[in-house]
Amino acid sequence: MRFYSTLLAALALGLAPAHAADSTPDASNAPPPSLRVLQRIFHPARPSEPFVDRGALQLAYPPHGHRAGPVAAAFVQDADATPAAEYVKAYVAANADAADAEEPVDLDAALYQLALVHPGDTQSAQWHVSSVKACHLAHATAEHFTLHLSAAGEPYALDYFVGPVPHDGACTGSAKARRRLLAEHGTRIANSSVALKAPTHPPLPSLRAPPQLSAEGKVVVPPAEKSFIQKYWMYIAIAFLALAVSGSPAEEEGAGQGR
């Protein structure tokens, strides 16, 4: 009995360091708590402007690890970053002189862009950029972020939407009225929502069972299905024979009266 107790104690001491090493979280593999989001306005007829800070997407992971990826996310505006409303308003104000010139800048062609910065990105070409028409920001009251996850649960892409937007996606109202609205009030976005989208796979095709092959390698032809008469002809013949032998009740009654 003492031998078994000593053996179990030795096994416990031998396994304890390995278990402790497995349970200790690895800082190098820790999931990113947030992802940076940058903003800018891009106009094809004007020099490209650099991205500036907009905020961050805060990620929530399950308590027992992050192998399945984040389970929730929320957008948080940085305290020292320029909000979208003020940023668009400043852009409109900076282009006010050009808009009142003989050849005004077409702000309807401008795009409001958001860039998702991945952990470890060293170049801006690695960022994922999502764009909406800048003219839609004049009437937008809500914004929606869709964060796409890879098969390993890692965020890699971002889709940005604002609403309400016309069904045809066209800019509503006149360009001058939108510039005035953005310059005076900025954007009126009050609600921000974030959704996580995991990869989906198409349904697998339903395959038929392969045909049976004979020893010679030929397809075994199943026997033809018999008809109702072919299956039950014996029972039908017995029924007719029984009726013929028994005769009708009228014939038996006539034979009895003749006697």
Q: For the chain, what is the domain count? A: 1
The pLDDT of residue 56:
92
Residue 139 lies in a domain: yes
Residue 234 lies in a domain: no
Locate 2 and state its tokens.
């003492």
The pLDDT of residue 247:
63
Range of the domain at 118: 29-197
How would you write the pLDDT of the chain (259 residues) with one tens digit per residue? 444 344 334 434 343 443 333 444 444 456 568 899 999 999 888 888 899 999 999 999 887 765 667 888 898 887 777 777 677 777 777 766 554 444 455 667 889 999 999 988 989 999 999 999 988 887 888 999 999 999 888 899 999 999 889 888 888 877 777 767 766 666 678 888 999 999 888 888 888 888 888 888 888 888 888 888 888 888 888 888 888 887 656 555 555 555 5
Residue 33 lies in a domain: yes
The pLDDT of residue 12:
40
Residue 24 lies in a domain: no
pTM: 0.65
Look-up of token digits 């796979």: 201
Residue 208 lies in a domain: no
